[in-house]
C-alpha cells in the first residue's frame, strides 16, 4: 500500500480550516475530501504536501552544512531574500544544486502550526512542497487544471498560469519536460511532453529532497514506542560515556587549538573585509556578507518574480504582464503592464510597496482595451 498523501490547495494559504477540500491519494485512489475527513484514523505514516504558494524557496551559498552551526547561520543566509522578519519563518535546507548552492524553504511558522493543530494527535511524518516533488532534471512543468507547477534541477519552485510560461521558458534550464492531461497540446518551448491520466496519482508517487517536518514540527512518536528503542539507547549511553572520557583527555589541547584558530580567522576576516573596523561577532558578520552576496543574479531575479507574482495574483485578472526585463547590474525588474483601469495599477503599486519593494511606475497611457504603464521594482540603490 502506498503512502497516504494529502495535497493542500492554494486556498489553504489564507486560513487553516478543517472543512477545506483537499486531494487525498492512497494506492490507486484519488479523491477530494474535507481535510478533517481525509486525516488517517490511526497512527500510520502519512504525508502532507503544501502548495508552493505558501513557501518561499531561496537558493543560497551556505557557509557550513554541519547541523550545530547551520541553525545559527541559516537565518543570516536568507534574511535579505525574505519580505518579512526571518524570525517568523520555519527554515529548512533542501537539495543541493550542481554549483554547490542549496535550496532553502521558508514558510510562516504560525500558518504551518495552524494546519498541524487540525491534525490533533496524528501529525504527518513528512511535510513536502508540491513543486519540489517534480523530478530533479532540467525544468519540469506539470499541469493541474488552471494551475501549473514549475520545478526541476533549476532554482525555480513556482505555481503559474499556462499563459505565463512563455515569458519564463527562456530562464529555465533545459531539457524542459511538460506533463499534461490527455487531449491537451504541449506548451511552447518544451523538448518533451508526457500525457498523464491521473496527475495527482503521479505527483504522489514522487518524493522531494526536503522534509519540512523538522524541529518543532517533527512528529513525536507515542511513549509506547520507547520500548523497542531501549536496547539502542543503552548502546548509545555506553558510547556517550566512552566519548566523554575521550573528550576530557583532549579538551585542553583542543581549547588551545581553538584559540589559535580564532586569532587566525579574525586576521583573515580583516584581510577580506578591511572596511569592517569592529569585529564583534565574526561568525554573524561573515554570514551577513555571504547573505548579501547570495542575493545577486538569478536568485535575485526569482525572489523579485516571486514577490511580484504574489502581488499581481492578489488583483485577479485586472493586471496583465506583456513583457518583463531584468537588469542584473542595477538589480531591478521592469514590467510592461496592461490593466483594466488606472485604479488597478495604483492598487498593484500599493501592494508591492507594502511588501517592502522599491517601486517606480512611469506615466500610464490609455489604450483601446484599457491602460498600460511601465513599472520597475527592486534595485541595488
Model confidence pLDDT, tens digit, residues 49-104: 999 999 999 999 888 777 777 878 888 888 888 888 999 999 999 888 888 899 99
CA-based end-to-end distance of the chain? 56
Q: Are residues 1 and 133 in the same domain?
A: yes
**10 in a structural domain:** yes
Strand 176-180 to 139-144 pairing: parallel
Amino acid 320: pLDDT: 83
Q: Are residues 211 and 352 in the same domain?
A: no
- Report the pLDDT averaged over residues 41-45: 86
Q: Are residues 132 and 237 in the same domain?
A: no
**292 in a structural domain:** no
Q: Are residues 14 and 139 in the same domain?
A: yes
Residue 89: name the closest of 56, 66, 48 by CA: 56
Q: Are residues 133 and 250 in the same domain?
A: no
Query: Which residue segment(s) compose the domain that 321 sits in?
Result: 297-378
For the ranges 86-90, 239-243, 251-255, the lowest mean pLDDT is seen at: 251-255
**320 in a structural domain:** yes
Q: Are residues 274 and 314 in the same domain?
A: no
**291 in a structural domain:** no
**179 in Cβ contact with 202 (< 8 Å):** yes
H-state helical runs in 273-364: 282-293, 297-314, 342-354
Domain boundary among 173, 195, 220: 220
Q: Are residues 162 and 42 in the same domain?
A: yes
Q: What are phi and psi of 73, to 5 degrees?
A: -80, -30
Residue 221 vs residue 34, higher pLDDT: 34
- Report the pLDDT averaged over residues 284-300: 66
Q: What predicted TM-score, i.e. pTM, was given to this entire model?
A: 0.58
Whole-number mean pLDDT of the chain?
A: 86
The CATH code of the domain that includes 156 is: 3.30.420.380
Helix (H) or strand (E) holding 166: helix 165-168
Convert the pLDDT of each residue in 165-176 to its tens digit: 999 999 999 999
Q: How far is it, in rounded angstroms, from Cα 12 to Cα 367? A: 37
Q: Say how many domains are in the chain.
A: 3
Q: Are residues 76 and 101 in the same domain?
A: yes
Of the chain, the percentage scoring pLDDT greater than 90 comes to 42
Band of residue 323 on the pLDDT scale cut at 50, 70, 90: confident
Q: Are residues 198 and 150 in the same domain?
A: yes
Q: Are residues 250 and 200 in the same domain?
A: no
Q: Are residues 232 and 361 in the same domain?
A: no
**134 in a structural domain:** yes
Q: Are residues 266 and 303 in the same domain?
A: no
For the ranges 123-137, 140-154, 249-263, the lowest mean pLDDT is seen at: 249-263
Q: How far is it, in rounded angstroms, from Cα 200 to Cα 257? A: 55
Residue 335: name the closest of 378, 293, 292 by CA: 378
Amino acid at each position: 500500500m502506498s503512502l497516504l498523501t494529502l495535497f493542500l490547495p492554494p486556498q489553504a494559504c489564507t486560513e487553516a480550516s478543517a472543512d477545506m477540500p483537499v486531494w487525498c491519494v492512497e494506492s490507486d485512489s484519488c479523491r477530494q475530501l474535507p481535510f478533517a475527513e481525509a486525516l488517517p484514523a490511526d497512527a500510520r505514516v502519512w504525508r502532507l504536501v503544501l502548495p508552493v504558494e505558501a513557501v518561499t524557496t531561496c537558493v543560497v551559498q551556505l557557509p557550513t552544512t554541519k547541523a550545530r552551526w547551520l541553525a545559527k547561520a541559516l537565518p543570516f543566509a536568507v534574511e535579505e531574500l525574505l519580505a518579512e522578519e526571518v524570525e517568523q519563518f520555519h527554515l529548512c535546507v533542501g537539495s543541493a544544486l550542481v554549483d554547490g548552492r542549496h535550496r532553502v524553504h521558508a514558510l510562516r511558522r504560525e500558518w504551518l502550526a495552524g494546519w498541524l493543530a487540525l491534525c490533533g494527535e496524528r501529525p504527518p511524518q513528512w511535510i513536502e512542497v508540491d513543486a519540489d516533488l517534480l523530478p530533479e532534471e532540467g525544468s519540469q512543468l506539470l499541469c493541474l487544471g488552471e494551475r501549473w507547477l514549475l520545478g526541476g534541477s533549476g532554482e525555480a519552485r513556482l505555481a503559474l498560469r499556462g499563459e505565463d510560461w512563455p515569458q519564463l521558458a527562456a530562464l529555465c534550464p533545459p531539457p524542459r519536460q511538460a506533463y499534461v492531461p490527455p487531449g491537451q497540446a504541449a506548451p511552447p518551448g518544451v523538448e518533451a511532453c508526457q500525457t498523464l491520466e491521473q496527475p495527482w496519482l503521479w505527483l504522489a508517487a514522487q518524493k522531494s529532497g526536503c522534509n519540512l517536518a523538522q524541529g518543532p514540527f517533527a512528529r513525536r512518536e507515542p511513549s509506547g514506542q520507547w520500548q523497542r528503542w531501549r536496547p539502542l539507547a543503552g548502546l548509545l549511553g555506553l558510547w556517550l560515556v566512552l566519548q566523554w572520557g575521550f573528550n576530557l583527555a583532549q579538551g585542553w589541547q583542543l581549547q588551545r587549538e581553538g584559540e589559535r584558530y580564532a586569532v587566525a580567522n579574525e586576521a583573515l576576516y580583516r584581510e577580506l573585509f578591511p572596511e569592517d573596523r569592529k569585529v564583534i561577532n565574526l561568525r554573524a558578520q561573515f554570514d551577513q556578507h555571504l547573505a548579501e552576496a547570495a542575493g545577486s543574479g538569478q536568485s535575485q531575479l526569482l525572489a523579485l518574480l516571486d514577490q511580484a507574482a504574489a502581488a499581481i495574483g492578489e488583483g485577479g485578472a485586472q493586471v496583465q504582464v506583456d513583457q518583463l526585463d531584468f537588469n542584473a547590474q542595477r538589480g531591478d525588474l521592469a514590467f510592461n503592464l496592461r490593466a483594466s483601469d488606472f485604479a488597478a495599477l495604483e492598487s498593484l503599486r500599493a501592494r508591492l510597496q507594502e511588501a517592502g519593494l522599491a517601486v517606480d511606475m512611469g506615466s500610464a497611457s490609455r489604450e483601446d482595451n484599457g491602460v498600460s504603464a511601465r513599472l520597475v521594482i527592486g534595485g541595488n540603490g
